[in-house]
Structure 1
Amino acid sequence: MALELRQIHDFHDVMYPMRSLNTSTRLIYFYLLSYFPVALLASDSIKLQEAWQAGLTSFILVAASWLCYSAYYLLPSALLTWLVYRLLRKHTWPAYVTGVLTTSVTTLLLYANAKLYTLYGTFINGFIINLVTTPGGIDSLGGSAESSLGFGLIAAGFVILQVALLFLAHILGKKHRTTKAPSLKRASTLLLLATVGVHLGYAAQDAMGKTATTELAEQVPFFQTVTAKGLFKHLGMNIAERPKLRIDGRLNYPLNPLSIKAPAKPYNILWLTAESWRADMLNPEVMPRTWEFAQRAQRFTRNYSGGNGTRMGVFSMFTGLPGNYWFPFLRDQRGAAIIDVLQQQGYDMSLYTSAMFSYPEFDRTIFSHVPVAHMQSLQKNGHPGWMNDRQNVGDLLNFIDTHDQAKPFFGFMFFESPHARYYFPEESVIRRPYKDDINYATLSREALMHDIEPIKNRYINAVHHLDSQFGRIFDYLEQHQLLDHTIVILVGDHGEEFMERGYWGHNSTFVNEQVRTPLLLWLPDVPAGVHDQLSSHMDIVPTLMPYLGVENPVADYALGHDLLRGPERQFAYISDWSRIAYVDKAIKLSMNVSGYARSKISSANDEALNPAGNAEAQKQQVNIMLQIMHDLTRFLDKTS
């Protein structure tokens, strides 16, 4: 009888293995096993070797932070699984399914986070979340079917991994059926004490001004910075004070109503902006048509975008303000003052993009007062950027042909050809070899370093195609005798890096490859000129407003300078989602806009400063911060 019962029990274990063991024990083992791939994925950005070289204290703080946070990454999944288990105890499979799916999502997000950091030097943040959740954001990445397939296979791989770990947890649970399960209470207490110790250690290093150590700890994904300077000061510690930027208030733009004396014969305005058009691409080989046009126009050879991405770059050129003002403009859905002026003067207006006006949210900021019927976006039609550029140029020229000739026209076009993955037709190929495609799913730093030349060749071919589309517009303006009474602006939204400073693309750092762009102005009756002084996207609107009859001083509506009649620019600002960079003839200094103004300093050309230069830049930092704070609050009502 006993033998028969034993055989029945063994059969039950084979046929119903997941029910025969204690579910909670099995889940504990599952999460303990899941901890290891999570910790491995989180380690990608953590510089343990640098921490060791910085000293034992740094190493312990960084290692402990990494190990503690790796457990916390699993906490949302564990809590959700526990809730399902408690609510549906009669059925164990929902808890297992929840555990597998939520841990798969956790590891997939950490994998994506590690890839973002490797390629672009940033973690998943507000910018990335905005990219994913805003209409047109994902499309702006320029992914391919091959990339989508790759990401799908990677996601499936993480699910398979977690299923395997669940079966391993079952085996471990079965093997230790008679032993006590790992104590959650003890482990939780240990984790809590370690976490408190980590953050007290961080706060102490922060209070002492040990920025090398705190910056290493902050490389742990989603590390939560803390400060306890009051406590340590009370305990008698000498506190290293750090400056903090305080920027808040309601938008107050422009500062005064614009006084306009409309010109008797207003100029047409044609504003052509190209995605990722970096400064050194304007040359006779890559852009012969544009180079020839530049010889007759105003060419600014040291121009800085207002940002290292499209959002801040285009915003700064239309408002004349640093890109950090984007957020109050978006909150209030405030349009650019120059658009208001054009509308008041009855301009026929038509806007075109081969991307989307909803990402970035230009339809809710600079163009928020432009009727939707006057804005054409083509990204959703499934065609590559170069094809959409061709169609948009044709439609733009048709608009100029058929608009009300009694009115001046304003045409804006955003070209997509040079956007990654850098599409172009065969007739635009001038550089070989070029990589056939770029698979984001399998991309790594090593692969980028190996393939960066053929990737850059793709970009050059795409820029050459951009030149052909500019050429169509130049030919039309010449043939229809429009250049005598049309202002033409050609500018890039930002640059594009090809691992010259360690990254690919843009939106990651403020190096010149990412933020320097061409700037050409065709101004009727103004002799051609080459300008080597510092210029900024913020200077475009101040240069145009007098042509539109705006009599206010520039300071009423912008922080830029009139490029022809104003004072020489001494420094420029460049912004991204949460930082601002100051650059002048000698140095470049970037810092956070929210929280403590942790800064990075280099030469204006992104080289490391010698000790004397670094000391001098450190002396200037306080005055630079005061200037930034003044400029970033000038158009905010701080009393509201």
Structure 2
Amino acid sequence: MLRSKVLNVSQAVDANAPSRPSRDLPRDPRAAAYARLRAFARARRRYGRLFLSVPLLLVVIADVRLRGDRLLALSGKHVASYLGAMIESAALWGLLLFAASSRRGGYRWLSALLFVVLATLSLGGQLYFHRQYATYLNLDATLFGTSLSASLFGQLRADGEHFLRAVLPPLVLAVALVWLARRIVPQRRTPWVRAARLAAPAAVVAAFLLPCSYRAVQASTPDVIYFHAIGGLLKELVGVQTTAQVRPGLRTPPALPAVTPEAGPRRNVLFILTESVRADATCSAPSTEGGAARGACPGTPRIDAATPGRLPLTQMRSNASTTAIGLSVLWSGLQPIATREELHSAPLIFDYAHAAGFDSAYWTSHHMMFANSRLYVQDLPVSHQCGATELDPLADIDLGADDRLLSAHVRAELPSLREPFVAVAHFGNTHVPYLVDPEDAPFQPALESKAPDDNEAYRNYYRNAVYRQDAAIAELIRFVRSLPAGERTVIVFTSDHGEAFREHGQLGHTGSILEEEIRVPGWIDAPPGTLTAEEEGALRAARDEPVFHTDVAPTLLDLMGLWEEPALARYRAAMVGHSLLRPSPGPAALALTNCTGIWGCAFKNWGMMRGTMKLESRAWDTTWHCYDVLADPGERHDLGPAACGDLPRLADAIYGGPAGSVDVPVHLRAGAAGPRRD
């Protein structure tokens, strides 16, 4: 009974209720759109601010794609460091994007501009840099490079297309993120929202100032490493720190005409160049020379054994004690006092080899970030080239990659060179802080301490680095000699400069042009038949004569059969050195300096040398000092300027007087002329 009453009431209600639209009838489109908007609004309120984490997600994805294997290898403090960098990155991009997503006001456009510009430069710049060096741009790179404008515009001029390809995707993504944020991120007028917007500039400033892991391990996100690097550069520009100096830049060599080597012995050239090895740390002459017992070359015994017939140059000197200057002199034949324009526009040995149809290569364990090196060598006309980060992505900026890796790399690629070839193998582990094998370090006691009381132990530490490098170079030499091409390959060896151990108060190099910093080993190892009797006789005559790095390029050109090529006469005229394969024309007055148009020295030093007489001065001196380096190899007895003949007059004309007496040396001024051969 009760149930039937309930049913009757229900039916009555249904009868009086308005009829529902049939599912087959079209719904009101305005109502559907309104429903979607309400759903979107609810989702935006709940999840919209999660969109602010998208920039961090993109940064991490990009980092994983570039170096995922290295990130997986992080552990302990490096994981914590990376997590800290992620927090910094999330705060920076999240706050900037939140401020840019505002619906009104001019502040949102400033925030949007900052977001787009910083994202494009930091991510795009790091993508490009990693492709070049297999590592990220960091503080060391900005401080060891040239000025910001020179580095940036020089690189754009050299490789602008690839740079634009690297920055374009981040630019497009950054603009898209701002556009989406203004539609997705909720904006409520609360004190917290206003505070977040105002915090965005503070986050930008903090990004430039906060420390991070940026050297070998680089346990930070790429954007954080970039902002730390630029922050260091900004400190440099405003004078908070002042280490920026003149550095090498992009070369603009002339197009050389095709030339044909003169008739003579068929020969290849392998130029082995090492770093910071002073003459007394190795031996230029074979230990068995003159009937001496083997073992008289404790510093480099394996090179000694691998080249028993080498022709020594016992009085070889660099014209500077700086690598960048040394390379420009060795490869161009110009003096260090040539102008920056001349040093950057002169042909190098690679250019000459290319013009003559030689195959060529430049392999180095040096870090191409150091001193802006890549700009100087990136356009060499070579078929093979590598730097430290191609050998080891974690290579130290000072030490470079392990020389054993370089030796193995050269051994792998050298057989593929087409004969005749000119190749340079440039080793670097004897640079500070020196790479030593603790299990094979014969010079003891040895300490890393640079304290004055530990000077001799520190010198032993350096000698152990030379000893370790000896094995890598000797292995390469033995390999070359085992090849069929080895019978036709002349090996030339020297070091870019020496190393001081407080002989005159200074430690390391670039501080002076005294003997400990510029006297270096030198020798040429030529298989039978690769030199004429006259060439071998000239080399033997030069054994104990003063020769310089300005003589190396002429000698290499002579080995290529190009020294007398008429088409190269104008370039040969700019070289003051002479080929060591020919009789010496007599001593020249040569400039020695670490302050040049290609390198700005921190401690001013300069001088001149003719034969065994050296004129020298440093920033804290007011007079020239003269030494006879043959009679006084330790340079302990200053003979006075008059003992150096006309060298003081010539030096005054170049440098404007002894060190410290002028602000800008004459040789750094436009149009300055260098000394000529007498």
Give the TM-score normalised by the residue count of structure 1.
Answer: 0.52
Deviation at 1:279, TM superposition (A): 0.6
* 2:544 alignment partner, SS class: strand
> In the alignment, which of 298, 304, 307 is matched to residue 285 of structure 1?
298
2:353 is the counterpart of 1:342: yes
Q: Report SS of the residue matched to 2:403.
A: helix
Deviation at 1:347, TM superposition (A): 2.8
Task: Determine the C-alpha separation between the residues in 1 that align with 2:672 and 2:651.
Answer: 22
1:261 and 2:287 equivalent? no
1:206-225 correspondence runs (5 A): none
Call closer, same or farther: CA 1:469–1:299 in 2, change over 3 Å: same
Q: Do the aligned residues in 1 keep the contact of 2:388 with 2:395 (CA within 8 Å)?
A: no
Mind listing any 5+ residue stretches in structure 2 that lack a counterpart? Answer: 1-141, 152-214, 218-240, 243-250, 284-296, 597-604, 657-665, 674-678
Alpha carbons 2:350, 2:360 under 8 Å: kept: no
1:396 corresponds, among 388, 391, 410, to: 410
- Aligned partners of 2:333 and 2:576 also within 8 Å: yes
Q: Cα offset for 1:311?
A: 1.1
The match for 1:314 is: 327
Pair 1:633–1:387, CA change in 2 (3 A):
closer
The answer as to whether partners of 2:628 and 2:635 remain within 8 angstroms in 1 is yes
Tell whether the 8 Å contact from 1:589 to 1:601 is kept in structure 2 after alignment.
Answer: yes
Does 1:370 find its partner at 2:396?
no
Deviations 1:464-491 (A, max 9, x none): 1111112111211222143331121111
8 A Cα contact 1:602 1:608, kept in partner: no
Change (3 A) 1:472 1:293: closer
| Equivalent residue number for residue 192 of structure 2 | none
Q: Tell me the CA shift for residue 492 of structure 1.
A: 0.3
Secondary structure of 1:296's counterpart equals: coil
Shift of residue 458 of structure 1? 1.1
Q: Which residue of 1 aligns with 2:393?
A: 381
Q: 1:304·1:537 contact (CA, 8 Å) conserved in 2?
A: yes
What is the rounded CA distance, in whole Å, between the counterparts of 1:320 and 1:478 in structure 2?
28
Contact 2:261–2:356 (CA<8 Å) still a contact in 1? yes
Identify the match of residue 501 of structure 1 among 488, 501, 504.
504
Instruction: Give the CA deviation at 1:342.
Output: 1.1
Residue of structure 1 equivalent to 2:626: 602
Q: In 1, are the aligned partners of 2:459 and 2:501 still within 8 Å (CA)? A: yes
After superposition, what is the alpha-carbon deviation per residue over 1:198-248, rounded to whole angstroms, capped at 9, x for unaligned?
A: xxxxxxxxxxxxxxxxxxxxxxx99xxxxxxxxxxxxxxxxxxxxxxxxxx
Amino acid in the other structure paired with 1:325: A
User: Does the 8 A contact of 1:336 with 1:365 survive in 2?
Assistant: no
Deviates further, 618-627 or 392-401: 618-627
Partner of 1:273, secondary structure, is strand
- Asked if 1:352 is matched to 2:363, the reply is yes
Match of 2:573 among 532, 556, 573: 556
Contact 2:257-2:355 at 8 Å conserved across structures: no
CA deviation after TM superposition for structure 1 residue 585, in Å: 3.9
Q: How does 1:102-113 map to 2 (within 5 A)?
A: none
Q: Which residue is equivalent to 1:568?
A: 586
Q: Is the 8 A contact 1:352 1:414 kept in 2?
A: yes
Judged with a 3 Å threshold, the aligned counterparts in structure 2 of structure 1 residues 321 and 498 are, in CA distance, closer, same or farther, namely same
Q: Is the 8 A contact 2:587 2:611 kept in 1?
A: no
Kindly state the Cα deviation for residue 460 of structure 1 after the two structures are TM-superposed.
0.7
Q: Which consecutive unaligned segments of at least 5 residues does structure 1 have?
A: 1-126, 136-142, 146-220, 223-250, 439-446
Taking a change above 3 Å as real, the CA distance of residues 617 and 144 of structure 1, as seen in their structure-2 partners, is: farther
Q: 1:316 to 1:635 in 2, by over 3 A?
A: farther
Distance in 2, matches of 1:488 and 1:367, equals: 24
Paired residue for 1:176? none
**Distance (whole Å) between structure 1 residues aligned to residue 356 and residue 669 of structure 2:** 27
Which residue number in structure 2 is paired with residue 411 of structure 1? 423
Q: Distance in 2 between matches of 1:499 and 1:389?
A: 27
Residues 558 and 293 (structure 1), Cα distance of their counterparts in 2 relative to 1, 3 Å cut = farther
Distance in 2 (alpha carbons) for counterparts of 1:262 and 1:619: 39
Secondary structure of 1:588's counterpart equals strand
Displacement of 1:620 in angstroms is 4.6
Decide whether the 8 Å contact of 1:271 with 1:413 is kept in 2. Answer: yes
Native 8 Å contact 1:335 1:364 kept in 2: no
Distance 1:507 1:562, change over 3 A: same
Structure 2 vs 1, CA of residues 589 and 610 (structure 1 numbering), >3 Å: closer, same or farther?
Answer: closer
1:432·1:457 contact (CA, 8 Å) conserved in 2? yes
* Superimposed CA distance per residue, residues 78-133 of structure 1 (whole angstroms, 9 cap, x where no aligned partner): xxxxxxxxxxxxxxxxxxxxxxxxxxxxxxxxxxxxxxxxxxxxxxxxx9875797
Quote the offset at 1:359 in angstroms.
Answer: 3.2
Task: Please give the root-mean-square deviation of Cα atoms over the aligned residues, in Å.
Answer: 4.2
CA distance in 2, matches of 1:514, 1:475: 29
Distance in structure 2 (CA, Å) of the matches to 1:281 and 1:592: 25
C-alpha spacing 1:632/1:560, structure 2 compared with 1 (3 Å): farther
The answer on whether the counterparts of 1:515 and 1:574 sit within 8 Å (CA) in structure 2 is no
d(CA) in 2 for partners of 1:546 and 1:615? 37
C-alpha distance in 2 between matches for 1:365 and 1:329:
13
| One-letter identity of the residue aligned with 2:594 | D
Give 1:519 shift: 1.1
Task: Report the alpha carbon displacement of residue 494 of structure 1 after superposing the two structures with TM.
Answer: 0.3
Q: Is the 8 A contact 1:581 1:590 kept in 2?
A: yes
Partner of 1:511: 514
In structure 1, the residue matched to 2:556 is 544
- One-letter amino acid of the structure 2 residue matched with residue 561 of structure 1: H
Answer yes or no: is the 8 Å Cα contact 1:582–1:589 preserved in 2. yes
3-state SS of the aligned residue for 1:397?
Answer: helix
Label 1:144 to 1:477 Cα distance change in 2 as closer, same or farther (>3 A).
Answer: closer
Q: Aligned ranges for residues 134-213 of structure 1 at < 5 Å?
A: none
Write the mapping of 1:297-312 to structure 2, written as runs, cut at 5 A: 297-312=310-325
Checking the alignment, whether the CA contact within 8 Å between 1:270 and 1:410 is kept in structure 2 is: yes
Residues 469 and 487 from structure 1, CA distance in 2 versus in 1: closer, same or farther, beyond 3 angstroms? Answer: same
Q: Which residue identity is paired with 2:278? A: R
Q: 1:401 to 1:620 in 2, by over 3 A?
A: closer
Preserved contact between residue 319 and residue 366 of structure 1 (Cα < 8 Å):
no
* Amino acid paired to 1:512: E
Compute the displacement of 1:621 (Å): 1.7
Query: CA, structure 1 residues 374+346, in 2 after alignment: closer, same or farther (shift >3 Å)?
Result: farther
- The number of equivalent residue pairs is 386
Deviations 1:596-636 (A, max 9, x none): x965313143635567x44444765214545889x969996
Conservation of the 8 A alpha-carbon contact between 2:388 and 2:401:
no
1:532 offset after TM fit, Å?
A: 0.6
Paired with 1:392 and 1:326, the residues of 2 have a C-alpha distance of: 33
2:274 maps to 274
- Deviations along 1:420-467, one digit per CA (max 9) or x if unpaired, are 1111223431112212x45xxxxxxxx621111221111111101111
Counterpart residue identity of residue 626, structure 2: S
CA distance, structure 2, for counterparts of residue 353 and residue 364 of structure 1: 15
Measure, in 1, the Cα distance between the counterparts of 2:670 and 2:301.
Answer: 41
State the SS of the aligned residue for 1:467.
helix
Structure 1: distance between partners of 2:258 and 2:651? 32
1:561 match: secondary structure:
coil
Q: 2:595 aligns with which of 574, 577, 580?
A: 577
CA distance in 2, matches of 1:580, 1:328: 20
Cα pair distance change 1:323/1:359, threshold 3 Å: farther
Determine the C-alpha separation between the residues in 2 that align with 1:343 and 1:603.
42
- Say if 2:317 and 2:548, in contact at 8 Å, map to a contact too: yes
Amino acid in structure 2 at the alignment position of 1:622: R
